[in-house]
Structure 1
Amino acid sequence: MDDIKIGEILLPGEESEQERRERRVRRRFWPTLRRAARQIPFSRDLVAAYYCAVDPKTPTRTRGILLAALAYFVLPLDFLPDMLAVVGFSDDVAVLTAAFAAISGQIKEGHYQKADEAMRDRPDE
């Protein structure tokens, strides 16, 4: 994936686009995470990003970037299909890494606490 493509994916979008992405992310996040958990080396950060993205106190731009990255993560068809084992999530990792860099420091300790609780309560369901 090149930087231009990732930059396009991470555009925060208008409010209506963010709402659409949030619905998709809320619906597909946990099933996708279960499939990806072994291939994504930063699952805790990913879950904390989810909680940051759905937190109404998170700044709009940060929410938009995270929702864009998480929407890409949950898409069933993306640049490299996720069905391709380890390679399938490599583009998702690239997009998520770029999103984390773009929102540096916006994921708060409370989001990590919620992530820890959720991961304890949802062990590989």
Structure 2
Amino acid sequence: MKSKEQHESKLKKMNPVKLIKGSKKHFSEKKYVEKLLKYARKIGIKISYYSLLLFYTFKSPSTPKSAKLTIAGALGYLILPIDLIPDALPAVGFTDDAAVIISALYQVISSIDDTMKLQAHNRMQKLFGQDYDTEEIEDKFKPE
């Protein structure tokens, strides 16, 4: 029971913006792709899609540098081997990663266009196949 209480306490104290800033130096495209391929099913459709959306936004030449720094920090945190909440913990292991990804997504929302959404959507279809259900993805982040 203590473990659950400790994790809930850590979640309440977590500052996604601070975590993003602290992880910028750890981002690499190769590490991100490797982690996503390895953990996509555990992370879930929503966070996998949102992280891909950030990834393709990062790669776009039209994305402002400040948005790219935010994205690099979020994706860097996702691939860090050490997390606030260890990824190996069932049910709660990726909650900190999810919070960072969602926070970054809303910070750079104005940089996301339909091409990026379509790229993320197509990659998700390859990763999840018939299990890819877009129901839990917010409509504003889906391709038209």
Give the 3-state SS of the residue equivalent to 1:88 in structure 2.
Answer: coil
2:16 maps to which residue? 6
2:84 maps to which residue? 79
Contact 1:72 1:92 in 2 (8 A): yes
Question: Deviation of residue 73 (structure 1)?
Answer: 0.5
Question: Deviation of residue 80 (structure 1)?
Answer: 0.9
Q: Residue 39 in 1 paired to residue 43 in 2?
A: yes
Q: Residue 118 in 1 paired to residue 108 in 2?
A: no
Moved beyond 4 Å, runs of 4+: none
Question: Deviation of residue 41 (structure 1)?
Answer: 4.5
Name whichever structure is richer in helix by fraction: 2
Contact 2:50 2:102 in 1 (8 A): no
Contact 2:26 2:76 in 1 (8 A): yes
Q: Give the root-mean-square deviation of aligned CA atoms.
A: 2.5
Identity %: 24
Contact 1:73 1:92 in 2 (8 A): yes
Superimposed CA distance per residue, residues 57-114 of structure 1 (whole angstroms, 9 cap, x where no aligned partner): 2101111101100100011111111111321100001111111221223221111111
Larger Rg: 2
Distance of 1:55 and 1:3 partners within structure 2: 33
Unaligned ranges ≥5, structure 2? 1-10, 130-144
Contact 1:32 1:74 in 2 (8 A): yes
Of 24, 34, 54, 2:59 maps to 54
TM-score (norm 1): 0.76
